[in-house]
Amino acid sequence: MAANMIKITDMEKIYRTEEVETVALNKLNIEVKNGEFVAVMGPSGCGKSTLLNILGLLDDPDNGSFVFNDIEVAHFNERRRADLRKHNIGFVFQSFNLIDELTVFENVELPLIYTGIKGPERKKRVEAVLDKVQIMHRRNHYPQQLSGGQQQRVAVARAVVNNPKLILADEPTGNLDSSNGNDVMQLLTELNEQGTTIVMVTHSEHDARYSHRIIRMLDGQTVTENILI
Amino acid sequence: MIKNYLLIAWRNLLKNKTFSIINITGLAIGLSCFLLIALYVLDELSFDKFNDKADRIYRINAALRFGGADLNFPLSSDMMGQVLKKDYPQVEDYTRIYNSNGSKLVKKGTEFITEYNVAHADSTLFNIFTLPAIEGDTKTALNEPNSVVITEKTANKYFGTSHAVGKTLETDDNTKTLYKVTAVIKDIPLNSHFNFDFFFSMKNVDYQWGQFTSHNFHTYLLLKKGTDYKAFEKNFDTYVDKYVIPEIKTFTQIKSMAEFKKAGNMLEYSLIPLTEIHLYSNRQYEFLPGGNIQYVYIFSAVAIFILIIACINFMNLTTARSSNRAREVGIRKVLGTVRKDLIKQFLIESVLMVVLSMVIAIGICYLVLPLFNSVADKTMTVRSLLSPIILPLLIGLPFVVGLLAGSYPAFFLSAFKPIEVLKGKLKLGKSGSLRSVLVVVQFTTSIMLIIGTIVIYRQLHYIQTRDIGFNKDQVLIVNNVYTLNNNAVPFKQEILKMAGVKSGTLSGYLPVSSSSRSDNVFSKSPVMDSKNGFDMQNWRIDYDYLQTFGMQLAKGRNFSKEYGSDSGAVIINETAAQILGYKDPIGQKIYRSGDAPGQEISYNIIGVVKNFNYESLKQTVGPLGLFLHSSSGFASFKVNAAYVPEILKHVESTWKAMAPGLPLKYRFLDDSFNEMYTGEQRIGKIILIFSVLAILIACLGLFGLSTFIAEQRTKEIGVRKVLGASVQGIVQLLSKEFMILVAVAFIIATPVAWWGMSKWLTNFVYRINIEWWMFALAGVLALSIALATTSFQAIKAALMNPVKSLRTE
Ligand SMILES: Nc1ncnc2c1ncn2[C@@H]1O[C@H](COP(=O)(O)OP(=O)(O)O)[C@@H](O)[C@H]1O
Ligand SMILES: [Mg+2]
């Protein structure tokens, strides 16, 4: 296995609306090693989410190279990206993004359905991961019936149920109070210790301290990198 | 203030263009369908009501069963009206119409024109029916022989003016007769069960048949005010005993009505109210093909269904959209708008939309009416929309539908606590299940209509392709050959010389409706009594008849010149053979009633022809005997299609040479055959049109709903895509619910449609079976149409970049 899971070179992403042209990523260069826990920080609008979306193969860059596990994926089409994504990457969002009409169990089960795992195996894996995030007792509840912290733990469970190599978290604690936030950060740390690579966007210096390295961005570029360990 | 509301309402319409267009168009189409059908139904219900005395006019119908043959016709005997008036004070007056020949040649200039709308009538006609005169006095107009009353358009046609009183018309129906025009009446309204252009004096009818036992007159009674016609009908038994039986006794051994009835026979008279003739009486020998009350019911149901579908759509879409407006309501409330104002705003918006739809609907009606008229064979005008039944609907409907559709958002949304709305905690679960019910109702209707269309078209196809016992294709029929007199046979010989003419026959009796018919009482034994006697069609044909029409013999032989004695021979059909009950009927005799008992005429059965359907497939094949006898109503030729143009040319020139000045009329047998089913074909077309429209409306609604739902579920779709859902998976997810609803609709529609169409098919004696594939086809059709409609939005939603839908603002 390559040492670098992610290698981004000279990446550009420009949003064009009717009048405005926004340079969201400006010749950005980033590397993330296998097993690393990286925090991305920077002021609002500097391109953090854009970066995460591209890392997550949800969006394609306008220019530059993106090597994921030694494969150049920048030019991948939608289908290949989706395929790569569902086997390798898990997402955690600031606003949880759970599906209201589905129970906790069903929400967590979704990624397994989409990767074609059979029923009994799904049940085993969903229950295991719900146990891990300590939400097993709420498995038949609907998202609205849970607190924010609980919802985010479900979201984390959903992100990891497929055993992804990479977890992308966009301000996972942004909507949580500090105690719930710490629980989620604890969870992410544990996952990282078990070998999952994590890239997390955050505004909180406190949360950033859980990571190995902080990448600071401004206007679509990296400005500094702090190595914490 | 109201202007302000309207202005805001208008702006809202423009703001949601797609939605408004779908919504207004759908409703407008639905409303116009409803209006068109309403016009049609009202027109059907209006028949004969223009007669001032309509509620007191009744026609006598007769039902006769004699030896297993059932006859049911709108005819009565020569004297019946007259003696009823004499015997019963309840009968204020009576009149008879006689059009036994069907058509007359009328001379215009030097040419004769074939006129079909001709009848002889008693002078009392105008006392009973409201047929106002333009010129002349209708009270006395038909008192004298050789007088005729014509309609305005006929006067214009023959004389170039409506002032035709005193002028003379020459007619030719075997003999030439001169008639003096004694009155000109207004054209008879189209919603009348008869549509004559000429009323000739009844005094010119030389009627030589039985005065009480032969039925050839349409007799109408005008009953005195307050007479119960059902009670009056009971007098008919007395009438039969007093007049009919004595006459029957003169030529049969039948002694009393009781004996006649005991042998399973029947002779019954009944009255039908004038205003019911068009829709309820579909007997043989009606003047015009009638309507059918069944269709009035079916169409009314369709009209109401389409209206409901359209209204449901409208409510559905308005409601669906309103939940997107929850935010707007929240903000408005925070800003201090009071609930009452919100309610008003929503209601005004929805009423405005319905009013717009109604205006468009009336426009559509105006544009489509000529087309609809030609399909439905009517002459309705948009003006009829101003009828006292429809006008209130036009005005009232927008308010009812508008208020109903607007009330949900108006009362439901305006009652929200603004904080909850703004927090997005609003759940519209309940209205979601209501919407599902509504979609099911729409598709149930659509599927029923599709099944109906399929069954009707299959039956029509079956009629076209069924083995009817003769070959209706490529038979050329020349009408009115009797006018050639002695030239009829030479005419036939001349045409037969042509290449491509395979055979030809002279006979007035054709195996399609609207040709000559005559029936007589026949008997298995010389003693003609109620047991042996039976009523049978007796047709006069020549040697080449069977061959020309391609009829098959089951037993025995055809008429042949090799047998000198064939004038005393008869070929019967299988039904007659069955009634006779001989193991081998060939060589047996049947007897026809003569002028008196003991004078019966005997015939030798020489052949049995396989049953052929000589009436429409709605009727069973009755007993028929074919006799070798000259009859020159029509000349029919079996022709080779490739030669038709030359043959027609030759027919024309031969006709001109043999009958100068007489009009040549010809047609093809299959056209006459198809004419028997124009009613059904028309219904097929109309149902087809309305099922297409019903589906169109339902689809518009579905499209609106799927747009709305896809919009509501953007976030969910985004999440699912992030988690690895494929485009196909998303499309399935979004379409699945609708498909389930359509499936439920299918399950409901199937038994109802099966029941309804089975009932319709009972109109036909010869009919198809309803088969499973007809339902399957309708289901698949509805499903694919629904799928196509919903998947458009679903695919659009599925292709959307999830990054966009998940961006937190
Ligand atoms: N879909 C989009 N269309 C147009 N502009 C966008 C879009 N997404 C992001 N942007 C712009 O790109 C820039 C970077 O956005 P984003 O990556 O969301 O910033 P961050 O997450 O760091 O706050 C911002 O200026 C934002 O307005
Ligand atoms: Mg962001």
Give pLDDT tens digits for A17-49: 888 888 999 999 999 999 999 999 999 999 999
Whether residue A101 lies within 8 A of chain B, CB to CB, comes out as yes
Hey, are the CB atoms on A97 and B802 less than 8 Å from each other? no
Under a CB-based contact definition with an 8 Å cutoff, are residues B587 and B604 in contact?
yes
φ, ψ for residue B114, nearest 5 deg: -80, 120
Query: Measuring from atom 12 of ligand 1, which residue has the nearest CA?
Result: A24
- Ligand 1 pocket member A15 (CB < 6 A): yes
Query: Measuring from atom 25 of ligand 1, which residue has the nearest CA?
Result: A45
Query: Measuring from atom 16 of ligand 1, which residue has the nearest CA?
Result: A47
C-alpha distance from A220 to closest chain B C-alpha (Å): 18
The residue of A86, A108, A144 whose CB has the most chain B CBs within 10 angstroms, and thus the best one to mutate to test that interface, is A86
Give pLDDT tens digits for B527-536: 777 778 888 8
Under a CB-based contact definition with an 8 Å cutoff, are residues B726 and A83 in contact?
no
B chain contacts of residue A100, beta-carbon cutoff 8 Å: 716
Structure tokens at B727: 């485009």
Please classify residue B387 by burial: count the beta carbons closer than 10 Å to its beta carbon, then call 0-12 exposed, 13-18 middle and 19+ buried. Answer: middle
Ligand 1 pocket mutation, candidates A50, A53, A168, criterion most atoms within 8 A of CB: A50
Query: Where would I find the H helices in B485-543?
Result: 488-496
Order of strands across the sheet that contains B501-507: B501-507, B634-639, B475-478, B666-668
Other Cβ atoms within 10 Å of A107 Cβ, number: 27
- B291-to-B280, B294, B379, B622 alpha-carbon distances in Å: 8, 9, 15, 25
Other Cβ atoms within 10 Å of B433 Cβ, number: 10
Task: Check residues B60 and A224 and name the one with the higher pLDDT.
Answer: B60
- Ligand 1 pocket member A44 (CB < 6 A): yes
Low-confidence ranges of chain B (pLDDT < 50): 425-426, 428-430, 809
- Within a 13 Å sphere around the CA of B561, how many CA atoms are in the beta-carbon half? 3
For the residues of B236-257, what is the DSSP string, one character each? Answer: HHHHIIIIIHHHHHTTSS---H
- Ligand 1 pocket member A17 (CB < 6 A): yes
Whether residue A47 lies within 8 A of chain B, CB to CB, comes out as no
Find, among B263, B256, B255, B210, the residue nearest to B68 by Cα. B263
Hey, are the CB atoms on A97 and B715 less than 8 Å from each other? yes
Ligand 1 center to residue B714 CA distance, Å?
A: 19
Hey, are the CB atoms on B721 and A53 less than 8 Å from each other? no
Q: Which amino acid is at A47?
A: G
B chain contacts of residue A99, beta-carbon cutoff 8 Å: 716, 719-720
φ, ψ for residue B502, nearest 5 deg: -85, -40
For A129, the 3-state DSSP assignment is: helix
Hey, are the CB atoms on B716 and A99 less than 8 Å from each other? yes
The residue of B428, B433, B709, B723 whose CB has the most chain A CBs within 10 angstroms, and thus the best one to mutate to test that interface, is B723
Hey, are the CB atoms on A99 and B808 less than 8 Å from each other? no
- Ligand 1 pocket member A47 (CB < 6 A): yes
- Ligand 1 pocket member A16 (CB < 6 A): no
Whether residue A203 lies within 8 A of chain B, CB to CB, comes out as no
Hey, are the CB atoms on A111 and B723 less than 8 Å from each other? yes
Give pLDDT tens digits for A142-187: 998 898 889 999 999 999 998 899 999 999 998 888 888 898 899 9
Q: What is the predicted pLDDT for the residue at B105?
A: 86
Structure tokens at B703: 């499209």
CA distance B277 to B341: 56
Size of interface A-B (CB pairs under 8 A): 45
φ, ψ for residue A219, nearest 5 deg: 50, 45
For the residues of A163-174, what is the DSSP string, one character each? Answer: --SEEEEESTTT
CA distance B467 to B579: 23
Radius of gyration of chain A (CA): 17
Q: What is the predicted pLDDT for the residue at B809?
A: 42
Find, among B765, B796, B721, the residue nearest to B611 by Cα. B765
Hey, are the CB atoms on B724 and A85 less than 8 Å from each other? yes
A chain contacts of residue B729, beta-carbon cutoff 8 Å: 114
Ligand 1 pocket mutation, candidates B800, B804, B805, B807, criterion most atoms within 8 A of CB: B807
Q: What is the predicted pLDDT for the residue at B67?
A: 66
Ligand 1 center to residue A44 CA distance, Å?
A: 9
C-alpha triplet B118, B122, B126: angle, nearest 5°: 90
- B466-to-B458, B459, B471, B619, B711 alpha-carbon distances in Å: 11, 10, 11, 14, 54
Hey, are the CB atoms on B801 and A115 less than 8 Å from each other? no
CA distance A94 to A110: 19
